[in-house]
Amino acid sequence: MGLASSTPKASSTSKEKMTNTKDNKVEEVKESEEISKAFAAVAGVRKEVDKLSERIAALEVAVNSGTKVTDEEFVVPAELLMRELLKLDGIGAEGEARLQRKAEVRRIQKYHETLDKLKTINSNPFSDKHKAVSVTTNWETFDS
């Protein structure tokens, strides 16, 4: 009897190990799929931010050359950057994907700061000290 009762325990234990192994593999596959989705989502945001960066660079050239730009040309890219930031916020990521997401957030913030600076320069052309005109007066002195 002792042999008969120990055999089912052994088979049930091996079944549990097989089930646990299968469960672990399923979990690993799910995690891998989630990581892949996170990488793809971050890459999609990066692509959109790349397009916006070209637009911001064009604005920078225009403003620095003294061209007056409408406020709308600053507002639209700023709003589009915020949308991309919200997309990143919705991405659940771990490990390397999380680091990439964080880097993209910082990149977007940097572009937003650039837009703010350009808008300031555009609204007040003398705010840029390199372009400011310095007026000095040479006073004539008379000896008494």
Residue 131 lies in a domain: no
The CA-based dihedral angle spanning residues 65, 70, 76, 82, taken in that order and rounded to the nearest 10 degrees: 70
DSSP secondary structure string, 26-41?
A: HHHHHHHHHHHHHHHH
How many structural domains is the chain composed of? Answer: 1
* Alpha-carbon separation of residue 38 from 24, 49, 109, 137 (angstroms): 21, 16, 20, 63
Assess if residue 67 is contained within a domain: yes
Q: pTM for the full model?
A: 0.68
For the chain, state the CA radius of gyration: 31
Quick one: pLDDT at residue 137? Answer: 53
Q: Is 60 within a domain?
A: yes
Is residue 118 assigned to a domain? yes
Whether 4 is covered by a domain: the verdict is no
Res 93: pLDDT: 83
Please indicate, yes or no, if residue 107 is contained in any of the structural domains.
Answer: yes
Residue 64 maps to a domain: yes
Specify the CATH number for the domain of residue 81.
1.20.58.120
pLDDT tens digits for range 100-123: 999 999 999 999 999 999 999 999
**Domain presence at residue 112:** yes
Write the CA distances from 59 to 23, 70, 120, integer angstroms.
54, 10, 13
| pLDDT score at 105 | 94
Looking at residue 29, its pLDDT comes to 75
| Closest CA relative to residue 113, chosen from 77, 72, 138 | 77
Consecutive 10-residue averages of pLDDT for the chain (144 residues): 50 63 74 87 96 96 92 95 95 90 95 95 69 54 56
Is 139 strand, coil or helix? coil
| Domain containing residue 104 | 33-123
